[in-house]
Structure 1
Amino acid sequence: MFFKLVSRNSKRSRRENGLFHASLLVVVIAFYVILALPKQDVIIFLKEMESDAIQKIFQMVPILFGASLCILFFLVYFAGRYQMERRKHEFGVYRMMGMSRSRLFFMLMTEDIKSSLLILVAGIPVAVCISELVSLITAKVEGLGILGHQSTFSFAAVIGTAVGFILVKLFACLFLSGAVVKDEIGNLMNPQAKEQGKTRPKVLYVLAFATGCVLLFVAFYDGIRGHIWDDLLILARTVVFGIAGVFLVFYGFRLILEQLGRWGSRHERLGMFTFRQLEEMFIRKSSVPAVSCILILAALCLFGAGIGIARSYTVQSERVVDYTFDDDNEDVSTTIEKLQKSGLRSDFEKLIQIKTGYIESSIENLDKEGKPSKKKNRVVGFNADELVDKLKKDGKTPNENVFAMEIEREDTPHIIALSGYNELLKQAGEKPLALKDHQAAVYLGSALYSDEFKEIMSKALQGNIHVTMDGKTWSLGEKVMNKEIVADRAITLGFALIVPDKAYEQMTAGNGTTYLDGVLKPSKTEKQGLIRVYQEMNQKLDKVGISYDCFLQSLGRRMFYGVCASYITIYLAVIFLIIGNTVISVQFLTNQQKIGRRYQTLIRLGATPNALCRSAKKQINWYFGIPVFLGAAGSIPAMASLFSLFVETGEGTQKVLLLSASGMILLLLIVELIYILEVKKLSDRYLLYLMVPEREE
């Protein structure tokens, strides 16, 4: 009989609190996905390329999981209080019928354990499927689908999820059940007195609302400008003003609700009652919708930023060369000979020699005795004043001015031989450069300078711009080049000049460096797949003893940032979104349960069920709509700020990222709509329950 009662109560609890149990189901799925990261295809691949960085991420996962468990505890505890409040009369009846305190405690614990096990049984299989789907999609997006997706199951993730979830639920239930069984029968049987909020002078609410609006305006303005990361004080001001502004706006919002109540009373039945209820909720607990707004804002901007950042890092960078061979102890001919002897030369379609170096001065130095010295210094006679003046003249943004200062500080720029760079352009399917005597082309390395700086330089080069190198005047072409001259990090160039081969040999005096770039045969990569070919070729080159840089390293590094940033931010977004929505849902339903006698009074006065339900739905729309609207509005400047911190992009790419993030925000707003509809459903069910005549005990 006892266990039948437990089973019946547990089933009723799941039916009446479906929203809460659905939220816990999503939490279980999120827990498993984050704990199962080591089993995903992309992470397994990244272990080979970025093992140290991946280990640091693995060290962060337990911290994130532990913090999530702490947050989940408060969520479960807060929501559990609502459920216990609703069932107090039921518990009082059990005690009146002779149920002991220990048996009541055991019943509540058994109900909670059963519901937790059912959530895990339902959530773990779904979590495994979603984890597999995420792994497969990520592998496809990152270009790893050719490796072949292998289904995986993380037993450790299942154990971690189950143990963490059950412990949190168990501790929360211990506190809640303990408080219930200690209560006296009279307190359980009688309705709890409703909390009364203190009403302050209206001028205080006016000042609070006006001050909050000003603080939010300042915070939004700082976020839209995108420079909050330049100064710690600006960042602190934005965060403090934003949080304080939200709390003050919600504290003073009761005045607007009061005016809306007066307007509504003239246009519909129960209009005054609807807004009076909202006004009372804001007076008593304005901090609840404020906290919910902040959590929703954090979830929206993290989710949008996670998708945007992942998209920016997963956009495939242009692949021109596959390998760069560079050994300080060997020349290029020795490397080519090694490739020939090992039989690896046939795997490469083309080998390109890229020459780069500094300008060597042709002016001899004098020693201490005034005699010519054999040593030569790098020239410091590079002068780009004309280019710098043009950049400063066109400069209208901080980036343009900073760029001008960087070029002004260049006194010994790199130079690149034209023939090798033209081979790269041919390999990329572009038209080679044609440079005349004393004519150079500007090179901006894409690893250091984004498309925005390329656009700035292209604009400045319009016209006849000259620079001075080695005592001679050179004209600069109007086209900016940015094809990477190596596969990965053999050399990282920022600003350089491409010059004809003859001038290169003269200015470097034969002291430049030659890099050998290798391009794999397309037939080989198309047949086996790019990643697999890279892995096999790396093993062969390691056996031969040839020093190399591989494009796979650049690919792995970009994938690491994209995958890790997206996984962590989206995980936190899901947790924040669930908490924010559950908190405000439970608060509304709790308040509705506390004022149940008001609805019963309205029923006796002739209010129809439809009128009461419409009033409650309108309350829900406002109570949810205000935090969601402010959170969505605040997420736009917040995401713009996050993009400016994590992603170096040009104006066009920024727009693409913002559009992508906005699409994710729209998706999350649909989730908000689902929450609102579910709360309305629960509200209607409770109001219809109040229609049943109450029996006097």
Structure 2
Amino acid sequence: MMYSKLSLRNVKRSFKDYAIYFLTITFAVSLFYSFNSLTAQQAMLKLSNSQEDMVQDLIYTIGIISIFISTVLAFLIIFANSFLVKRRKKELGMYMTLGMSKFNISKILVMETFFIGLVSLLVGLGLGTILSQGLSLLTAALFQVDIQEYTFVFSTTAMLKTILYFGIIFLIVMLFNVIMINRYKLIDLFIANKKNQQVKLKRTSTAIGVFVLSLLLIGSAYFLMLKYGLFKSMNLLWTSVGLGSIGTFLFFFSLSGFLLNIAKKNEKLYYKNINIFLLRQINSKVNSTFISMTIICLMLFFTIGVLSTGFSLKNSLEKDLTVTTPYDSTLSFFKYEESVENLEKKLEELNVKQYGDNITFKEYYSDESISSYLKGYTDKQAESVLEGKASAPLTLIKRSSYEGLARLQGKDPVNLEQNEVLILTNQKDMKKTMKRFVDNNKSIKINHKEYPLSGFQFMSVRTDKSAKDTMIVALPDQAVSEMEPSRISLNIQYEGEANKADQELYNLIETYNKNADKNTYLLGMTKTLVYEDATGTSTMIVYIGIYLGIIFLISSAAILALQQLSEASDNKVRYDLLKKIGVTQKEVNQSIFKQIFIYFMMPLSLAIIHSIFGIKVVNRAIMSAGESNVFFPSLLTAGVIIVVYGGYFLATYSGYKSILKK
């Protein structure tokens, strides 16, 4: 009972000084609960069958991600806890001096951890319940669905999951505390704050060499990503990640070896006010925290990158849908062993023309490849599209089919002369290449016959999930009369209710493919399904990005804050000495502000530089999916970082001054 009261008193006494620790755990619990409460939120949303399947996939993915996040949070809480114990070494040494056994000291720490965990869980779950209400609105907006009827959302499953995960984390923290206390000697507890950190790299020349090597490694990572992109090779991608990570580690590892010596050379800066004290404080801190600096920098890089590009990718995927879905639905048969006549007959037997205006058209393959025509006219964007399609044959359609497809889309077809041909593409990255090709060629040779070239038009010939029509040529009808079609398709614009037609077509396609033989397979796609699939995919990216990004941002800021606050008491004697030799309180406060500001900005600055290159690489990949605009998402990301990261910075500054005043 006595130990319980002592533990509770210690928690109350240290709550103000270490409010950041409590708040960080509380925010982590609230985020963990709210994102795992998606099952309860789903009941509020008016979802179609396909969207319900996507939400289930999202719930499963978040469950997997939550395991990873709980591991990150476990390391964060253990890390933070170790600093709190370090802060109280003198107090624990006093307990030991008074005759208290290590077992009883461990018992006190275990009880304190239990109280902290209990309060954090209760407050975090309450805050998470409120946050999940707003998350429901975000979910509805991302899936572009209406909320059927607002109901208060509370997920018992998410609550139990949160209690289980964080309960395990705090059990590990308790065990960690017991092991740590048993390893301490009494002398360590009393002189811990007097132990100076040894410089890892004592020779300045060695430190500078390591620093230059770090820049070379980071530069190599940038070069590989800018040159080859994200999807060239997984080996190249992981090589770049490895080089960048090692380079970041060596960057912070080398700083303490020469940073102070370089500052000394600028006497005007070094001897101004109390900069000599300030610079030594920063140098000592970097020397002892370069590993955590590296991890924080990489987490911030991830946060900036994913928050800046997540919404951009969502907008890009959904903006391109107007191009790839010109018809309400498309049904296609590919030719395997059966004749096209039989496939055309089967298409008629499906009786799908009843749903609205429609057109049936056939596609043919020429003897030439697409790349053979475009060689010498491509740019980097076009090359990325054509990569892996070097031997892809040129697709042909009849001119009458083109004219019918254009009219079904509500467009006026291009007027062509008797033997003129028209190039079609629906890939935006191919526009400039096609224009160069058309501007430099008055004719095009197809299957050993020359045709006058009218130009090119940007349009799709079917409804599909992505823009796949790299290069299609509309030929005079007689030019393909003796060719064997490779595919037959039917495009429909509904006249009646879209939802009813979609559902009937889904059922028809599913039934047909279940009973069809291996030689035929009916492909079907509707505009509704494409939009739902795109919004589902992009929403999953945004959800995971926000979830991981905010957790990483909070973790990074919390670690930096706790590192500074844990040193505040140790530095109290130093600051008292400064005051005795005439340093004013204002100068002391300025020194504290500069120290914390520089310490917070070091990992953030390198993370921003990483992000500039990273966003550029991701932006290129996004451009292949559609238009990209990272300006507004980047502004939003900057705002989040200023609020969260800046908030932790100000809280740390305030807490640091408060500790020094005691």
Judge same fold: TM > 0.5, yes or no: yes
C-alpha distance in structure 1 between counterparts of 2:231 and 2:401, whole Å: 40
- Give the drift of 1:666: 4.7
Give the aligned partner of residue 519 of structure 2.
Answer: none
Of 397, 420, 428, the match for 1:416: 397
Contact map agreement 2:215 2:251 (CA 8 A) in 1: yes
Three-state SS of the structure 1 residue aligned to 2:430 is helix
State whether structure 2 residue 274 is matched by structure 1 residue 297.
no
Give the aligned partner of residue 18 of structure 2.
Answer: 17
User: Matches of residues 514-593 of structure 1 in structure 2 within 5 Å?
Assistant: 514-521=488-495, 524=497, 537=504, 548-593=524-569
State whether structure 2 residue 272 is matched by structure 1 residue 268.
yes
Deviations 1:461-507 (A, max 9, x none): 12543223355321223223332424669x9654322234x436624
Of 611, 620, 628, the match for 2:604: 628
Of 206, 209, 214, the match for 2:208: 206
Three-state SS of the structure 1 residue aligned to 2:202 is coil
Segments of structure 2 that go 5 or more residues without pairing to the other structure are 334-342, 514-521
Give the aligned partner of residue 683 of structure 1.
Answer: 656
Give the aligned partner of residue 252 of structure 1.
Answer: 254
Taking structure 2 as the reference length, the TM-score comes to 0.84
State whether structure 2 residue 360 is matched by structure 1 residue 351.
no
Three-state SS of the structure 1 residue aligned to 2:81 is helix
Contact map agreement 1:454 1:480 (CA 8 A) in 2: no
C-alpha distance in structure 2 between counterparts of 1:149 and 1:498, whole Å: 52
Contact map agreement 1:228 1:235 (CA 8 A) in 2: yes
- Give the drift of 1:51: 8.3
Identity within the alignment, %: 19
1:643 and 1:53, CA in 2 relative to 1: closer, same or farther beyond 3 A? farther
- Give the drift of 1:171: 1.7
Give the aligned partner of residue 83 of structure 1.
Answer: 84
Contact map agreement 1:10 1:115 (CA 8 A) in 2: yes
C-alpha distance in structure 1 between counterparts of 2:244 and 2:641, whole Å: 22
- Give the drift of 1:521: 4.0
Three-state SS of the structure 1 residue aligned to 2:321 is coil
C-alpha distance in structure 1 between counterparts of 2:363 and 2:378, whole Å: 30
C-alpha distance in structure 1 between counterparts of 2:59 and 2:406, whole Å: 41
Give the aligned partner of residue 135 of structure 1.
Answer: 136
Amino acid at match of 1:677: L
Deviations 1:492-538 (A, max 9, x none): 654322234x43662447x676533222348x46xxxxxx5566555
Of 431, 435, 446, the match for 1:454: 431
Amino acid at match of 1:219: A
- Give the drift of 1:440: 1.7
1:567 and 1:601, CA in 2 relative to 1: closer, same or farther beyond 3 A? same
Three-state SS of the structure 1 residue aligned to 2:417 is coil
C-alpha distance in structure 2 between counterparts of 1:476 and 1:207, whole Å: 61
Of 270, 281, 294, the match for 2:285: 281
Deviations 1:3-40 (A, max 9, x none): 55544432333321122222212211332244234445
Taking structure 1 as the reference length, the TM-score comes to 0.80
C-alpha distance in structure 2 between counterparts of 1:334 and 1:474, whole Å: 37
Three-state SS of the structure 2 residue aligned to 1:80 is helix
1:213 and 1:437, CA in 2 relative to 1: closer, same or farther beyond 3 A? same
Give the aligned partner of residue 113 of structure 1.
Answer: 114
Count of aligned residue pairs for this structure pair: 638
C-alpha distance in structure 2 between counterparts of 1:79 and 1:383, whole Å: 61
Of 432, 437, 454, the match for 2:413: 432
User: Matches of residues 93-242 of structure 1 in structure 2 within 5 Å?
Assistant: 93-94=94-95, 104-145=105-146, 152-177=153-178, 179-180=180-181, 188=189, 192-198=193-199, 200-225=202-227, 227=229, 229-232=231-234, 234-242=236-244
Amino acid at match of 1:290: T
- Give the drift of 1:285: 3.4
C-alpha distance in structure 2 between counterparts of 1:129 and 1:183, whole Å: 43
Bigger Cα displacement from structure 2, 183-192 vs 311-320: 183-192
Contact map agreement 2:379 2:433 (CA 8 A) in 1: no
Three-state SS of the structure 1 residue aligned to 2:124 is helix
State whether structure 2 residue 380 is matched by structure 1 residue 397.
yes
Bigger Cα displacement from structure 2, 608-617 vs 31-40: 31-40
Amino acid at match of 2:377: D
Deviations 1:273-313 (A, max 9, x none): 11111122233433332332222212222332333323323
Segments of structure 1 that go 5 or more residues without pairing to the other structure are 340-344, 360-378, 526-531, 690-697
Contact map agreement 1:488 1:550 (CA 8 A) in 2: no
Contact map agreement 2:381 2:429 (CA 8 A) in 1: no
Contact map agreement 1:313 1:562 (CA 8 A) in 2: yes
C-alpha distance in structure 2 between counterparts of 1:432 and 1:111, whole Å: 77
- Give the drift of 1:599: 2.1
Bigger Cα displacement from structure 2, 626-635 vs 142-151: 142-151
Contact map agreement 1:136 1:145 (CA 8 A) in 2: no
Amino acid at match of 1:256: L
Amino acid at match of 2:376: K
C-alpha distance in structure 2 between counterparts of 1:137 and 1:63, whole Å: 21
Three-state SS of the structure 1 residue aligned to 2:457 is strand
* Backbone CA RMSD of aligned residues: 3.8
C-alpha distance in structure 2 between counterparts of 1:19 and 1:598, whole Å: 24
Contact map agreement 1:534 1:552 (CA 8 A) in 2: no
Contact map agreement 1:322 1:519 (CA 8 A) in 2: yes
- Give the drift of 1:270: 1.0
Contact map agreement 2:370 2:471 (CA 8 A) in 1: no
C-alpha distance in structure 2 between counterparts of 1:577 and 1:176, whole Å: 26
Give the aligned partner of residue 582 of structure 2.
Answer: 606
Deviations 1:220-248 (A, max 9, x none): 33334453642455434422332232233
C-alpha distance in structure 1 between counterparts of 2:630 and 2:192, whole Å: 53
Give the aligned partner of residue 370 of structure 1.
Answer: none
C-alpha distance in structure 2 between counterparts of 1:133 and 1:622, whole Å: 35
C-alpha distance in structure 1 between counterparts of 2:56 and 2:489, whole Å: 33
Three-state SS of the structure 2 residue aligned to 1:461 is helix
Give the aligned partner of residue 640 of structure 2.
Answer: 667
C-alpha distance in structure 1 between counterparts of 2:436 and 2:423, whole Å: 12
Contact map agreement 1:312 1:657 (CA 8 A) in 2: no
Amino acid at match of 1:517: N
1:487 and 1:308, CA in 2 relative to 1: closer, same or farther beyond 3 A? closer
- Give the drift of 1:45: 8.1
Deviations 1:199-236 (A, max 9, x none): 61221122122222233233233334453642455434
Three-state SS of the structure 1 residue aligned to 2:630 is helix
C-alpha distance in structure 1 between counterparts of 2:72 and 2:405, whole Å: 54
C-alpha distance in structure 1 between counterparts of 2:557 and 2:157, whole Å: 30
C-alpha distance in structure 1 between counterparts of 2:512 and 2:97, whole Å: 85
Amino acid at match of 2:364: Y
Amino acid at match of 2:303: A
1:533 and 1:384, CA in 2 relative to 1: closer, same or farther beyond 3 A? closer
1:640 and 1:94, CA in 2 relative to 1: closer, same or farther beyond 3 A? same
Give the aligned partner of residue 74 of structure 2.
Answer: 73
